[in-house]
Chains A and B, each alone.
Chain A
Amino acid sequence: MAGLGRFGAGAFVAPALALIGLFLVFPALWTIYLGMTDYRLTGLQAVDPSFVGLDNYEQILGDPAFWRSLRLTLVFVLASGIVGQSLLGFAIAWALRRLTGWLKSVVETLVLAAWVIPASVASFLWIALLDRRGGTLNEILGTQGTAWLIEHPMAMIIIFNIWVGTAFSMLLFSSALASVPPSQLESARMAGASGWQQLRDVVIPNIRGHILTNTLLITLWTFNTFTPYLVTAGGPNGASEILAVYIYNTAIPGGQLGVGAAISLIMLLINLVIALGYLRVGRARAARPAEATAAETAGGAATS
C-alpha cells in the first residue's frame, strides 16, 4: 500500500464493494432469510410472512418432484454440457484447425450465430422447428403430427442447449489448439503416431488446463441455465423440469416464494461444491503456471 495508505486504498475500493454488497451479498442473504419464511406471492403471507425455520427444507427434501428435478438436471448437465457441448466444441475446433478460407468462416459464423442469438429468439426458432403441425423438422422428415417437445422433451432441450452453447467450447478449444506447438505434433507424426495417438499423447496433455476450465464453466452454466423453460416450460407435466425451471415454477406460477428461495440456496450450495471440486482437481495437478491461472479465472467466474 505504498503511497496510498490504508484509508486511501479503501476509498478507491469502496464503490465496488458497495455495489457488490448491494447487488450480490444482500440478495444472497435476503434469499437465505426468505428461505426460512412462508412468504408467498399472493394472499395473507405476501403481506405478513412468518418465520418457519427449516420447514421449507423439510418440505423440499421430502418432495419427489425435487428429486426428480435434480436427477433431470444431472442428466441435462452431463448430456448437453459435459458430453455434448465440450465434445462437439472440441470436435469442431479440431476439424476447423486444418480448414482454411471460406468454409472455415462459414462454419465458425454458423456456430457463433447460435451463441449470439438472444435466447428468446433462439427458443422461438426451435419451437418453430419442432412444432407438431407445420414444424420444419416434421416437414423434412415427413413425420407430420409428431410432437417432439411432448414425446421427447428432455432430448429436445438437451439438443437445444448443445446448439446454443457449443460455440463457447469451440472458441476456447480453438485457441487452446493453436497453443499446441506444431513441432510436437510433427515429432509424433515422425514417430508414426496416428491421428488418435497424436491427440492422446500431444494435444490433450498440452491443453489439460483448458479442458478443466471449459468443463467447470460449462457445468456451472448448464446447471444454472433457465433458457430451456422458453422451449418446454418444464413440461409436459414436469418431464423436462430442470432445477432452475423448477425454482421458477415453484416460486412464480406456484406462488411459494419462500420455498423457491430455499431451493435456490440448495442450488447455490451445489454450485459451490462443483466449483470447489474442480479447483481441487486443478490444484492437485500441481501446477504449471498457465493452468493455475486458468483455474483461478474459472473460480472467479463461478462465484460471481
Chain B
Amino acid sequence: MAAITTHALVKEYPGGVRGVDGVDIAIADGEFFALLGPSGCGKTTLLRSIAGLETITEGQLLIGDRDVTRLEPGQRGVAMVFQDYALFPHMDVADNIAYPLKIRRQPRSARRGVASEVGDGLSLTGLMERRPGQLSGGQQQRVALARAVATRPEVLLLDEPLSNLDARLRLEARTFLKELQRELAVTTVFVTHDQAEALALADRIAVMSAGKLIQVGTPREVFAKPATTFVAGFIGSTPMNLLAARVEGGQVRLGSAVVPMPLDAVGAVTDGAEVVWGARPEYLGWSTTAVEGGVEAEVTVVENLGASVLVTAVAGADRLQLVLGEDDEPAPGSRGWVTVPPRRTLLFDAESGRRLDAERAREDAVAVDVAP
C-alpha cells in the first residue's frame, strides 16, 4: 500500500501535443481516486503514465517513497485492469490469474494455489479451468481484477472499469468494486468519463481538461462547489444552469429578474461585475405564487424521470432547468416563479469561468494558485 505523488508531471507526444500538462497530484494511501473528464482530456494518459506504459517526459512520480519515474511497469508495484480486460485467450482462468506469479518464477503448485484463493474471493470458484471466451463479461472483469490483485500490488489502476458492462450489470459491479477496494485497502486510481460513476465510487475526484487538473476534491465538493463553469457543466446528471448575469446592489440581475446574492460569493464581487450565475436543477424550486427573489418563467417542456420530473422553463431570453418531485409537476405552458435558495447557488467570473468565493479569494491572496 502506498501513496502516489506527482510533481509537475508532463507527457508530451512527438509533435508537441501534451497529453498530461504539468500535473501535481497527491493520492493518499488506500484512497479510491477517480480521474474524470471528457474524452481526450488526458486522464487515460495520466493513468498510463503512472502505470509506466507511457514514458514520462518531465516531472517526477513517486509511489510510496520510491521515485519510479523511470522504472519499468513491472518494477513499480503497480497492477492495472484494462478496459477490455486483456485476458490471455489461450490460458485458462487459473493461469490468467497466476500469470504475474509465473513471471516471478513461482512453482506451478504455488501459482494454482494463489489463483484459486484469489479466485474464491472474487466468486470465481468452479471457473478455474475455463477459457476467457467461455465467461460472461462480469466474470471476465473479475478474472482481470483477480490477476491484478494476485500479487498484492501497492497501487491498483483501473481503466474505465465499468464501460464494457451492460447497464444493469454496471450498478452491481460498481458496488462490488467499492466493496473490494475497501476490503483490500489498496490505493486505487480509476479513469472514467462518466461523472455518475466517479461520484459514486471515489473518495476523491480529479476533474481534468486539456491535460491539466481543473479541480481535485471529494464528490460532495466537486458537485456542490465546482471550481469552474467547466466542472459545473460536467458534473451532475442534469447539467447546472449557467446564466450570464450582472451584480447590482448586492444582488444578481438575470435579464429582468433579480435573484439574491449566492452566500459563497458575498464579499467576493463588486457592483457592476459581469458574472455567470449557476444553480443545480435539483436545488431550484417552483412556486405558483409570486416569490421575493424568484424568477418568473413559463414552463415549456416537462420530462418524466420516474420519481421526479425535469422541467424546462423560459424567463425572457434565459432557459432554466429544474428537477421537481412528481407531486409538484407543473403543466406545460403554465406560468410561475422559480425559487432560488441563495445557499445553493454559485457565481462564476464571466471571463475566467472561475467560481467567485469570498473564502477562496482570501486563500488566493496568501498562496499563488497555479491551477487555471
A residues with a Cβ closer than 8 A to B are 181, 183-184, 186-193, 197, 201-202, 205-206
Q: With A183-B86, A186-B86 as given contacts, are A191 and B99 in contact (CB-CB < 8 Å)?
A: yes
Q: B41 CB to closest chain A CB, in angstroms?
A: 20
A contact residues around B103 at 8 Å (CB): 188, 191-193, 197
Q: A138 CB to closest chain B CB, in angstroms?
A: 44
Name the prevailing secondary structure of the A interface residues: helix
Question: How big is the B interface, by class?
Answer: 20 to 34
Q: B72 CB to closest chain A CB, in angstroms?
A: 7
Complex partner residue of B88 from A192, A197, A202, CB under 8 angstroms: A202
Closest 8 CB pairs of A and B: A192-B74, A183-B86, A191-B100, A205-B90, A187-B86, A183-B82, A184-B86, A189-B73
Question: Would you call B359 an interface residue if the criterion is a C-beta within 8 Å of the partner chain's C-beta atoms?
Answer: no
Question: Would you call B232 an interface residue if the criterion is a C-beta within 8 Å of the partner chain's C-beta atoms?
Answer: no
Complex Cα distance, B53 from A205, in Å, reads 22
A contact residues around B78 at 8 Å (CB): 190
Question: Would you call B248 an interface residue if the criterion is a C-beta within 8 Å of the partner chain's C-beta atoms?
Answer: no
Complex Cα distance, B102 from A205, in Å, reads 16
Q: With A190-B78, A191-B74, A193-B74 as given contacts, are A184 and B88 in contact (CB-CB < 8 Å)?
A: yes
Complex Cα distance, B90 from A292, in Å, reads 16
B residues with a Cβ closer than 8 A to A are 51-53, 72-75, 78-80, 82-90, 99-100, 102-104, 147, 151
Contact call A190/B84, Cβ cutoff below 8 A: no
Instruction: Name 10 A/B residue pairs within 8 A (Cβ), A-sorted.
Output: A183-B83, A187-B80, A187-B86, A189-B53, A189-B74, A191-B99, A191-B151, A193-B74, A202-B88, A206-B89
A contact residues around B147 at 8 Å (CB): 187, 191
Complex Cα distance, B72 from A192, in Å, reads 8
Complex partner residue of B75 from A187, A192, A197, CB under 8 angstroms: A192
Complex Cα distance, B54 from A189, in Å, reads 12
Whose C-beta in chain B lies nearest to the C-beta of A189? B73
B contact residues around A183 at 8 Å (CB): 82-86
Contact call A192/B104, Cβ cutoff below 8 A: yes
B contact residues around A206 at 8 Å (CB): 89-90
List 6 extra interface pairs beyond A187-B99, A189-B52, A189-B73, CB under 8 A: A187-B86, A192-B100, A201-B88, A205-B88, A205-B89, A206-B90
Contact call B73/A181, Cβ cutoff below 8 A: no
Q: A53 CB to closest chain B CB, in angstroms?
A: 53
Q: B163 CB to closest chain A CB, in angstroms?
A: 14
Q: A19 CB to closest chain B CB, in angstroms?
A: 42
Complex Cα distance, B140 from A187, in Å, reads 14
Q: Max chain A CB contacts within 10 Å: which of B75, B79, B88, B102? A: B88
A contact residues around B75 at 8 Å (CB): 192
Contact call B73/A192, Cβ cutoff below 8 A: yes
Q: B137 CB to closest chain A CB, in angstroms?
A: 15
B contact residues around A188 at 8 Å (CB): 99, 103
Complex partner residue of B53 from A181, A184, A186, A197, CB under 8 angstroms: A186
A contact residues around B80 at 8 Å (CB): 186-187, 190
Complex Cα distance, B87 from A202, in Å, reads 10
Whose C-beta in chain A lies nearest to the C-beta of B85? A183
B contact residues around A186 at 8 Å (CB): 53, 73, 80, 82, 86
Whose C-beta in chain B lies nearest to the C-beta of A192? B74
Complex Cα distance, B99 from A184, in Å, reads 12
B contact residues around A181 at 8 Å (CB): 84, 86
A contact residues around B90 at 8 Å (CB): 205-206
Complex Cα distance, B102 from A202, in Å, reads 13
A contact residues around B73 at 8 Å (CB): 186, 189-190, 192
Q: Max chain A CB contacts within 10 Å: which of B89, B103, B151? A: B103
Whose C-beta in chain B lies nearest to the C-beta of A185? B86
Whose C-beta in chain B lies nearest to the C-beta of A204? B90
Whose C-beta in chain B lies nearest to the C-beta of A205? B90
Complex Cα distance, B53 from A184, in Å, reads 12
Q: B7 CB to closest chain A CB, in angstroms?
A: 23
Complex Cα distance, B88 from A186, in Å, reads 11
Complex Cα distance, B84 from A205, in Å, reads 18
Complex Cα distance, B100 from A102, in Å, reads 37
Complex Cα distance, B90 from A184, in Å, reads 12
Q: B96 CB to closest chain A CB, in angstroms?
A: 9
B contact residues around A201 at 8 Å (CB): 88, 99, 102
Complex Cα distance, B74 from A186, in Å, reads 10
Whose C-beta in chain A lies nearest to the C-beta of B75? A192
Q: A182 CB to closest chain B CB, in angstroms?
A: 9
Complex Cα distance, B333 from A139, in Å, reads 95
Contact call A190/B88, Cβ cutoff below 8 A: no
Q: A181 CB to closest chain B CB, in angstroms?
A: 7
B contact residues around A192 at 8 Å (CB): 72-75, 100, 103-104
Complex Cα distance, B51 from A183, in Å, reads 13
Q: B81 CB to closest chain A CB, in angstroms?
A: 9
Whose C-beta in chain B lies nearest to the C-beta of A197? B103
Q: B140 CB to closest chain A CB, in angstroms?
A: 13
Q: B228 CB to closest chain A CB, in angstroms?
A: 33
Complex partner residue of B51 from A190, A193, A197, A205, CB under 8 angstroms: A190
Q: B17 CB to closest chain A CB, in angstroms?
A: 15
Complex Cα distance, B84 from A186, in Å, reads 12
B contact residues around A187 at 8 Å (CB): 80, 82, 86, 88, 99, 147
Q: A183 CB to closest chain B CB, in angstroms?
A: 4
Q: B97 CB to closest chain A CB, in angstroms?
A: 11
Contact call B83/A190, Cβ cutoff below 8 A: no
Complex Cα distance, B89 from A201, in Å, reads 11
Complex Cα distance, B99 from A197, in Å, reads 11
Q: A5 CB to closest chain B CB, in angstroms?
A: 42
B contact residues around A184 at 8 Å (CB): 86-88
Complex Cα distance, B80 from A183, in Å, reads 10
A contact residues around B102 at 8 Å (CB): 201
Q: A111 CB to closest chain B CB, in angstroms?
A: 25
Q: Max chain A CB contacts within 10 Å: which of B51, B80, B147? A: B80
A contact residues around B85 at 8 Å (CB): 183
Q: A204 CB to closest chain B CB, in angstroms?
A: 9
Complex Cα distance, B78 from A212, in Å, reads 36
Whose C-beta in chain B lies nearest to the C-beta of A288? B89
Whose C-beta in chain A lies nearest to the C-beta of B133? A288
